[in-house]
């Protein structure tokens, strides 16, 4: 009997609404999870909730699957974290050229400046001194108004924020601002620390490996403009050698 055959196959996935990642049935995560789980008999029920609430739902055993979150250095007492990320994306910096005349490249280049980011992102790329906000428009405005030097975010999120909110900032002139890649962030899925949560995570790992070996996972990521996280290949290779 499969490890997932003896549990309820209705899987509740809770997630925030992120452009190109979760915002439609053809976005990256829905397509990926659909192929990972339905092949093993699961039916996915997706529910949109704010990011922090989605993590709380998993920690409180009220949902089966959520993420992504940054890599944890110690095991959580509340949830199980996947051994490889679901997404690896470039992190971009947005800043005023007159404030920072030299193009920012790499994490070290941020150390001299006041940096604002979305929750977890700054820490995920190794920044220790970073101001976190949940409202991306607020982060954008902090740089426009000079209350912060740099706004960092995942590539798609930053471009989306600038595109969708720039018209609201009357003193925004795109010619005065610069964006550059300063690092990469990796995001991991989680499930509850229960026997059911363990089965869900095992199914996720098994399905990811099967899709990788078939070549299908590369097609899914590429068709949506993303790369397959390198850690997945490393995980498969390591466990093949270990066996």
Tell me what pLDDT residue 206 has.
Answer: 97
Q: Which CATH class is domain 87-185?
A: alpha beta
Burial class (CB in 10 A: 0-12, 13-18, 19+), 112: exposed
DSSP strand E in the chain: where? Answer: 10-15, 43-48, 66-69, 79-81, 87-96, 115-117, 131-132, 150-154, 177-192
Q: What does the domain layout of the chain look like in residue ranges?
A: 10-86+186-242, 87-185
Alpha helices by DSSP H, 133-194: 136-144, 155-165
Q: Is cis: bond before 85, omega within 30 of 0? A: no
DSSP 8-state code for residue 146: T
Tell me what pLDDT residue 162 has.
Answer: 86
Tell me what pLDDT residue 2 has.
Answer: 46
Tell me what pLDDT residue 7 has.
Answer: 66
The number of CA neighbours under 13 Å toward the Cβ of 136 is 18
pTM: 0.82
Alpha-carbon gap, residue 121 to 175, rounded angstroms: 26
Tell me what pLDDT residue 241 has.
Answer: 56
Tell me what pLDDT residue 84 has.
Answer: 97
User: From first to last of its 243 residues, what are the pLDDT tens digits of the chain?
Assistant: 344 455 689 999 999 998 889 999 999 999 999 999 999 999 999 999 999 999 999 999 999 999 989 887 677 889 999 999 999 989 999 999 999 999 999 999 999 999 999 877 887 788 888 999 988 889 999 999 999 999 999 888 898 888 887 767 667 888 999 999 999 889 999 999 999 999 999 999 999 999 999 999 999 999 998 999 999 999 998 887 555
Q: Do the domains spanning 10-86+186-242 and 87-185 agree at the CATH topology level?
A: yes
At 135, list the tokens. Answer: 């409202």
Tell me what pLDDT residue 242 has.
Answer: 55
Tell me what pLDDT residue 243 has.
Answer: 54
Q: Which CATH class is domain 10-86+186-242?
A: alpha beta
Tell me what pLDDT residue 164 has.
Answer: 80
């Amino acid at each position: 009997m499969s490890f997932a055959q003896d549990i309820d196959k209705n899987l509740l996935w809770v997630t925030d609404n992120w452009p190109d990642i979760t915002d439609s049935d053809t976005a990256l995560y829905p397509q990926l999870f659909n192929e990972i789980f339905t092949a093993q008999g699961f039916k996915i029920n997706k529910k949109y909730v704010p990011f922090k609430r989605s993590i709380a739902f998993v920690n409180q055993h009220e949902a089966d699957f959520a993420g992504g979150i940054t890599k944890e250095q110690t095991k959580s007492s509340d949830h199980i974290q996947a051994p490889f990320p679901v997404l690896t994306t470039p992190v971009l910096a947005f800043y005023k050229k007159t404030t920072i005349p030299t193009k920012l490249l790499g994490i070290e280049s941020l150390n001299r400046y006041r940096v604002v980011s979305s929750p977890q992102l700054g820490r995920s790329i190794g920044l220790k001194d970073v101001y976190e906000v949940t409202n991306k428009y607020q982060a954008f405005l902090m740089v426009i108004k000079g209350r912060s030097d740099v706004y960092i975010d995942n590539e798609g999120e930053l471009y989306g924020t600038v595109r969708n909110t720039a018209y609201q900032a009357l003193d925004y002139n795109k010619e005065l601002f610069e964006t550059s890649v300063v690092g990469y962030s990796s995001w991991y899925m989680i499930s509850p620390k229960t026997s059911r949560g363990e089965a869900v995570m095992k199914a996720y790992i098994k399905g990811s490996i099967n899709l990788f070996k078939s070549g299908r996972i590369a097609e899914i990521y590429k068709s949506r403009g993303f790369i397959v996280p390198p850690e997945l290949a490393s995980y498969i290779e390591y466990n093949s050698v270990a066996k």
